[in-house]
Structure 1
Amino acid sequence: MRAALGVVLSVWLLGLAPAAVERPLAIGSRKQLFLDRRLIADARGVELSFNPPQHFPSNLLPAERPWERGRLGAYASVLEDDGRYRMYYNSFDARYESEYLCVALSDDGVRWTRPRVGTIEHEGARDNNIVGVGVRGRVFIDPFDAPARRYKLLTRIDAEDPRWPLTKGSRRLDATYLLTSADGFSWERVEEPVLQFHTAAVSDVFFDDLAGRWAVYMRGSLPDTGSAAYARIEVPRDGLARPFSVLPGTRAAERGRAVDLRGEAPFVFQTDANDSVGAHVYTLYAHRYGWADAAYVAFPSIWYSRRPSLGGLSDPTASDGMEMQFAFSHDGIAWRRPFRRSIVPAWLEAGPNGVDQVYCGGMVRHRDEVVVYYSRVAGRHLLDDWKPLGRLASIGRVVFRLDGFVSADATEAGGELTTPVLDFEGRRLELNAWTGAGGWIEVALLDEKRQPLPEFGPRQAIRLAGNSVRHVAAWKRGSDVGALAGRPVRVRIALRDAKLFALQFVP
């Protein structure tokens, strides 16, 4: 009887136990994107939608030089430096015997010129924009190193390449090397390779401020299918010139995503069952999206292979073309690709079989827009004789709204969403949002139990309308929310015929 009473008493006490307290999401004053449901605790009448960019198909850099007549721009990178834009791109001559790394400059990212660099000789002359021969990769800027080594490039160098002479005592390897430059025109090689192997594709490199390390993404092949996929290697801030450590113990390996690249590095980005048979991640082009919190974006080129050229699966009915898609992550390791469609529309002037190969060529911010460059080669990847294809190669751009890759949308029927409990800093709440002519957005602040906070409830809210990347939420008392900073709050947003891209508490 006493035991039974104890069981009943225990059950009764458990029934009175308080519900688990939701731990606030500490966002400070950092911008939050609506890429997925990370910022949505519950919603009604709201859907997440991908927003295709505006397309500008004009050829920004036609193949006009002798060293570009074979092909131009399949591997490109665009970066902003001191208010000007630089584009590094690869090219081949008409005989397809030499591969060059070239540079173009622009003040606005639209009109490009080829500077006369004068460092590399081509057909007896140095009047060209060539900055490297026999190398390929994405140029990046290292803000932590000395000015003499400010520009950097990871590249494959073949053992027999005579254009990179050895210093006394150094070894010659087919390997991955680091090149450095003070001006981005004249390059020097760090003698010891950073990796004792190389991959066929270019590597993506950026400094991951959330991890406090450089992130290096390299292409390899999955051991079970042979499909091309990308691994992530993390390098200390001052470690780019030293051999990379790719042994177990990286963050990706610790999170259980360790599939080996030559037995050493974890794969983090690959095709899956939602892709067609024979799909490969040919290039990735991953970025830390530095204008928002915990946001990474990538523009992978998905190759639909008709034959198992990489030793993997293939589809004999595939196009053998490539399309550039969109992917995102919150940590640079776990990636999502929910909207599997090309972000570059097919051109009417495609290759001989109506097929394109599209590769990402860089991402920069211009005011309140995000510009993504791409290179396009008309023709199938392996099945067409596309040498030379200089006249069929082009470089274009697409433009996204700032933070506008994905949005939380409501139709004319209306909807609403509520965030998790937030811990914020700041005095104003700004929304990046758009509404139709008859649409509106209404913001309320709630406590942990979803009860409206005094003077910040829906009845006191002033509706927002129109298109702005910086709508300011306001109530009858004004827009100052500083008194709530540091307290756990939820944000409830009601929408009608509207798109919500991001929110941010600002000072």
Structure 2
Amino acid sequence: MTSTPPEKQNPTVLNYMDAKPDHREMGLCYAVSTDGIHWEKPDLGLLEFGGNKRNNILMRHVHGAGVFKDDRETNPARRYKMLFCGEPQMTVAFSADGLNWSRSIPIPEIEAHGTHANAFWAPDLGKYVGFTRQHARRGSDSIRQVIRTESPDFVHWTQDKFVLEGPTPRLQTHDMIVFPTCGIYLGLLGMMVHPEDSRFRVKQHVELTWSIDTITWNHVQAGTPLIGHSPARSETYGAMPYDWGTIFASAPVFRDNEIQLYYGAGDWYFFNWRKGYLALATLRPDGWAGYEPISAETPGVITTTPLTFFGDTVGVTADVRNGGSVRVSILDGAGNIQAASDPITDTITDGRVKWSKSQDVVGLRGEKIRLRFQLRNAKLYSFQIRREL
């Protein structure tokens, strides 16, 4: 049975399948890799499926599971933690090795229709924080919302509260993977795009959000994908690029020279049968978002809000191309230049700014200043005031 209108029923135009095939179910499986590119699915021999245990299944009847290794945990049996929808309710489980899991503990305080559940220890908050999804009503429309909950011990959780939703029923938040980094929290937000008031031709990409407390969230250039779809010249079922239809993010892996973003990809529309893939996107270090000039002909200028200059130098992360440059100035409260840098003409990661004419900026320590960045054919990702002397 399908809800595809009769006039649109053909092999390449499909809509939402209402029927669930026999012998199909959700599960959690295990794979290993030495390089993050080539993966193996070992025969674990833990659970029977299809009449034997020659498989890589960790759990059956599990939906939207989020697993993480808790390095601060003192109980070895709880080193690995999982938050998931256990059909029919949200639950948690623990493991010493990530393979053999405890019995599930139900969490009635969290919406039972959650998906892409994820949790972590928030050091500045001193508690575990979890995120998943719920359905809500806005008039006659059914919408999806990102919900948040917290716990002191990963067993007792607060009643979930909604923290983020899309602007319209045609642009909905589906899931958000949250993680702490650089003193704030970033969210990889799955956005469902409905071209029509139906489930027809729905796709999903990933955008970027940020928060200082995991409660109030801010969009980074809403509508602009952080991970977008691979393009295609034509639309033919079964012949589309691996991530043409859907993208579901996971928590990033931070390497010395890059940020790795593994994601689940689908080659067709959200509510249709599609092939699934594990995919990898990469960013340069600290390359989540940046400022660059709108026009290559005119330099871009960024001036910060007032900052306390507690150090003696500034570190900058930026891409510089085609003979471009980044120049940094320190301004006092009246807007006067107190120090100016030599031009930065190469791409750098947390590179130390060199002040022109060996200017001594130590005397500015403790003062309120502003930093001004002038960008020409360059993209500024981040900066930090450092104390080296």
The TM-score normalised by the length of structure 2 is 0.81
Measure the CA separation in 2 of the matches of 1:351 and 1:150.
46
Alignment partner of 2:135 out of 217, 221, 236? 221
Aligned 8 A contact 2:229 2:245 in 1: no
Measure the CA separation in 1 of the matches of 2:101 and 2:360.
52
After superposition, give the CA deviation of every residue in 1:75-98 in whole Å (9 maximum; x if it has no partner): xxxxxxxxxxxxxxxxxxx95423
Residue 176 of structure 2: aligned partner: 284
Alignment partner of 1:499 out of 355, 361, 379? 379
- If asked which structure has higher relative contact order (CA below 8 Å, sep 6+), I would say 1
- Structure 1: unaligned runs, 5 residues or longer: 1-93, 159-173, 247-264, 307-313
Deviation at 1:483, TM superposition (A): 4.6
Q: Compared with structure 1, are the counterparts of its residues 322 and 494 closer, same or farther at alpha carbon in structure 2 (3 Å cutoff)?
A: closer
For 1:55-454, what aligned pairs fall within 5 Å after superposition? Answer: 96-136=23-63, 137-145=65-73, 146-158=75-87, 174-193=88-107, 195=109, 197-224=111-138, 225-236=141-152, 239-242=153-156, 244-246=157-159, 265-273=160-168, 277-288=169-180, 290=181, 292-304=182-194, 314-315=197-198, 318-332=200-214, 333-342=216-225, 343-346=227-230, 348=232, 352=237, 356-382=245-271, 384=272, 386=273, 392-410=275-293, 411-453=296-338
Secondary structure of 1:148's counterpart equals: helix
Q: Compared with structure 1, are the counterparts of its residues 220 and 95 closer, same or farther at alpha carbon in structure 2 (3 Å cutoff)?
A: same
Deviation at 1:300, TM superposition (A): 1.4
Residue type at the aligned position of 2:34: D
Aligned 8 A contact 2:66 2:83 in 1: yes
Deviation at 1:468, TM superposition (A): 1.1
The two structures, once aligned, show a CA RMSD in angstroms of 2.8
- Structure 2: unaligned runs, 5 residues or longer: 1-20
Identity of aligned residues (%): 21
Measure the CA separation in 1 of the matches of 2:38 and 2:365.
46
Deviation at 1:481, TM superposition (A): 4.5
Aligned 8 A contact 2:328 2:371 in 1: yes
Aligned 8 A contact 1:430 1:471 in 2: yes
Residue type at the aligned position of 1:432: T
Measure the CA separation in 1 of the matches of 2:121 and 2:195.
32
Deviation at 1:188, TM superposition (A): 0.5
After superposition, give the CA deviation of every residue in 1:328-387 in whole Å (9 maximum; x if it has no partner): 3343322315241442333549762866122113311122311111212233333x3x2x
Deviation at 1:204, TM superposition (A): 2.1
How many residue pairs end up in the alignment?
A: 355
After superposition, give the CA deviation of every residue in 1:10-64 in whole Å (9 maximum; x if it has no partner): xxxxxxxxxxxxxxxxxxxxxxxxxxxxxxxxxxxxxxxxxxxxxxxxxxxxxxx
Aligned 8 A contact 1:203 1:218 in 2: yes
Secondary structure of 1:396's counterpart equals: strand
Q: Compared with structure 1, are the counterparts of its residues 336 and 393 closer, same or farther at alpha carbon in structure 2 (3 Å cutoff)?
A: same
Measure the CA separation in 1 of the matches of 2:53 and 2:195.
39
Aligned 8 A contact 1:282 1:303 in 2: no
Alignment partner of 1:470 out of 346, 350, 375? 350
Residue 8 of structure 2: aligned partner: none
Secondary structure of 2:39's counterpart equals: coil
Secondary structure of 2:113's counterpart equals: coil
Measure the CA separation in 2 of the matches of 1:377 and 1:437.
37
Secondary structure of 1:379's counterpart equals: coil
Aligned 8 A contact 1:210 1:294 in 2: no
Residue type at the aligned position of 1:151: Y
